[in-house]
Amino acid sequence: MEAAAVLKEAIGANRPILGVVLGSGLGFWADHSLQDVKKIPYAALPDFPQSTVPGHHGCFVLGRLHGHSILCMQGRVHYYEGYTLRQVTLPVRTMIEMGIEGLVLTNAAGGIGSSLHPGDAMILRDHINFLGSNPLIGPARKGETRFPDMSEVYCRRWRAAFHALLGRSGQAEVAEGVYLATTGPSFETPAEIEAFARLGADAVGMSTVPEAILARQMQIPVFAFSCITNYAAGRSPGPLSHEEVGVTAAAAEGRLSALLEAAVMSFERRG
């Protein structure tokens, strides 16, 4: 992969152990929490998709946190921007080519469940792919599983270690739930949200699922959480807007930073 080759040259011998995808309004974490930071803009990588959404800076950030070497995506690209799902998942595939052993995915989401409120976090236990497509459509690459199992997309062992760490550190527990991905870019209608609730969804968003599917195919453990930035349509007292996403994420910055750090610290390397 040309992008991986250029990225390897840019960061040198410091191979990342973890990949972290920072969703809408969450890019601050790479700047505020990592040490020995080095940034590589997506624009510097050949044939690499470019983010067009406010709040997605569009660069890789290599840094360290408590001894872990981490490669962050400071912003992602989305299906609704006009990219194919193969293009949407290219950044994660590139991180896997770089040698990551685990992947942390984050997103901003609308709360469907009655117990979820703006500013809350939700750990993904499972997902519903409502995108109408799949990033694995097309020829399988040599050595890749054609029909990967999706019984446990989000690593149960990692989630258990995360919850245990929160308990030991005295942090408040975080609920687990089911995330449903739609294409966007329009927000959902109240009738759609009602249907999604009946399907078992606790939160709804426009990302994460394609990257999780690819990582599962590549046998990379995945941990994911949503920042609930708004009530979903029909649950919200007013109209929805993307600006609300950034405002809520900024207000919850301290809590989200602590959760991301806990996700990193609870990762257990294989073997």
* CA 210 from centroid of its chain's CA atoms: 10
Selected catalytic residue, list 30, 108, 203, 224: 108
Selected catalytic residue, list 95, 109, 121, 206: 206
Catalytic annotation present for 266: no
Catalytic annotation present for 81: yes
- Dig out the tokens for 12 from the structure: 């040198």
Catalytic annotation present for 69: no
Selected catalytic residue, list 230, 232, 233, 252: 230
Catalytic annotation present for 68: no
Catalytic annotation present for 207: yes
- Dig out the tokens for 261 from the structure: 């750090």
Catalytic annotation present for 231: no
Cα distances (Å, whole numbers) of residue 236 to 23, 183, 210, 229, 240: 22, 20, 27, 11, 8
Catalytic annotation present for 224: no
Selected catalytic residue, list 51, 107, 129, 207: 207
Selected catalytic residue, list 4, 80, 163, 195: 80
Q: Which amino acid is at 220?
A: I
Q: Which residues pair with 62 in a beta bridge?
A: 38, 71
Selected catalytic residue, list 33, 56, 233, 244: 56
The CA-based angle 250-64-30, given to 5 degrees, is 20
Selected catalytic residue, list 78, 181, 249, 266: 78
> How far apart are alpha carbons 200 and 128 in whole angstroms?
9
Selected catalytic residue, list 242, 250, 258, 261: 242
- Residues found in the chain: 271
Selected catalytic residue, list 30, 73, 81, 107: 81
Catalytic annotation present for 56: yes
Residues that are catalytic = 24, 56, 78, 80-81, 108, 206-207, 230, 242
